Structure 1
Amino acid sequence: MTDLKFEVNATWSGVGVHGEGDLKMADKTVLYSSPAEMGGKSVGVSPEDLLIGAVTTCYSGTLFAILTKRRLPVENLSVRAEGIVTGFPPQTNFSKLIVYPTIIGGDSSKQDEYEKAATIARDKCFIGKSIAGNIDYQVGKVQL
């Protein structure tokens, strides 16, 4: 087995929610700050967005692979995701992440099979598995 290394570099200036930073990933730079809902500057994306995005991108690729392997009709898919933060501000906790897949080009007579595939993808996506036990990670209604 080979170990893979991924590296990002972040810079930050400012105190707490009043600061902002940039995150360098591969050849891209992403601006980030605390979200407005938490009193932040809302510059670029938030750490919450990045967490939701990491899980969602892994989940979408995993789901597409599972649908293809199971020979379920799919042209492409989209995934809407939402994260729930509770206890703000005294005991802020990222408590839940829900993915809502939409299968484009799916066969509605196989709804149950798509729902099973969606749950399997949640359980197999290695980024999603990284949050298991810490965040309630769910699959919402699968749309066709």
Structure 2
Amino acid sequence: MAKHIFNSEIDWAGGRNAVGHLQTGVLKEKISVPSLMEGPGEGTNPDEMLLGAASTCYTITLAAMLERNEIGLINLKVDSTGVVDVTNGVFTYEKIIHHVFLKLTSEADETKARKLAERAETSCMISRAIRGNVQLETVITFES
């Protein structure tokens, strides 16, 4: 059984509203609490990174599934939204919605591509990791 190991390193000095530095793979970024959560809003934050992980995993998974099924893809765009609920001062990542825009070489492949786009959510490693804790939704649009 093969295992893949990923590492990250964070330098942080200060309390909740400090600004830290994250390095993971080729990503080097400042990190802080987002301004809409009354933080400094510098660099990225865990909420954006979870959304980014979910949307990139979904996109790459779907692209691979389309390719394996020999569906001609002209363009794939995924706009994702993360919804965080705040109740009694407790922050809960509630939902991720992927708005998927597909442009295919043949309209005849749309039915199969829709099924793959729906199934990609259950095939993505990140989606499987957060399933049961974060609601996942996919909205699919075909472009001509």
| TM-score, normalization by structure 1 | 0.89
Matches within 5 A, 1:62-141: 62-88=61-87, 90-141=89-140
Q: Indicate the residue corresponding to 1:5 in structure 2.
A: 5
Q: 1:66 to 1:27 in 2, by over 3 A?
A: closer
Which one has the bigger strand percentage?
2
Distance 2:100 2:59 in 1: 8
Give the RMSD, CA atoms, in angstroms.
1.7
Deviation at 1:106, TM superposition (A): 4.7
Distance 1:89 1:44 in 2: 27
Q: 1:38 to 1:76 in 2, by over 3 A?
A: same
Distance 1:23 1:9 in 2: 6
Distance 1:92 1:53 in 2: 18
Q: 1:33 to 1:138 in 2, by over 3 A?
A: same
Distance 2:74 2:109 in 1: 15
Structure 2 gaps of 5+ residues are none
2:65 touches 2:116 (CA, 8 Å); kept in 1?
A: yes
Equivalent pairs: percent with the same residue? 26
Q: Is 1:14 paired with 2:14?
A: yes
- The number of residue pairs the alignment matches comes to 143
Structure 1 gaps of 5+ residues are none
Q: 1:19 to 1:143 in 2, by over 3 A?
A: farther
